[in-house]
Amino acid sequence: MQQTSLPHEQHHPATTTDSFETLYSQYVHKVFQKCLSMTHDSETAQDYTQDIFIKAFTKLDRFQSRSAISTWLYAIAHNYCLDQLRLGKRFSTEALSDELTNSFKDAEDAESTHSSLQRLEGVLDQLPPDEVLLLRLKHEQGLSIKELSDRYQLTESAIKMRLKRSRDKLVAMYADFV
């Protein structure tokens, strides 16, 4: 690589890396301001500034001193920002609509619900069949305590107690299953 001397440097042999560090420290603010004026976004301007200096570093050996190095760097910055802005227009992005965002959330919720139901079924398989039937009649079929009492020929308080014990057992087993 050809060594490049920058303005305002002392005239002693310098490596390309030293030259680049000098170039960076001397012009980073000006390049950032150029990027900011074109993008109107501080984060994007910072990203572009870094990209521009990487590009300048890779082309530093091609700088031919036909113009001031600041002019050369300014041209790289200007052209880079224009290219990025053109690409941005070609591949424009837009925020997801609330409807689409909600559909993703609904899908995640459905997946979570499905997973929970599978765990619940696994725990139900461990309960005695008569307890499972009682729980299913009450909670899936929607039978009332009175209807269950008539069906099982037990008092309503006995049905309530059996339901409570079965639910408590189910909750404890579900907690252990997770």
What is the DSSP track for 148-175? HHHHHT--HHHHHHHHHHHHHHHHHHHH
Rounded CA separation 15/130 (Å) = 85
pLDDT at 161: 94
Mean pLDDT of the chain: 80
Rounded CA separation 13/119 (Å) = 73
26: pLDDT strictly greater than 70: yes
104: pLDDT strictly greater than 60: yes
Mean pLDDT calculated for residue range 106-126: 76
Query: Which domains are assigned to the chain?
Result: 16-90 (1.10.1740.10), 98-177 (1.10.10.10)
Question: Residue type at 56?
Answer: A
Rounded CA separation 41/26 (Å) = 22
Mean pLDDT calculated for residue range 59-68: 82
pLDDT at 110: 67
Structural tokens at position 6: 């920058």
Mean pLDDT calculated for residue range 85-110: 68
pLDDT at 4: 44
The pLDDT tens digits of the residues spanning 127-162 come to 898 988 998 898 888 899 999 999 999 999 999 999
Higher pLDDT, 89 or 178: 89
3-class SS at 143?
coil
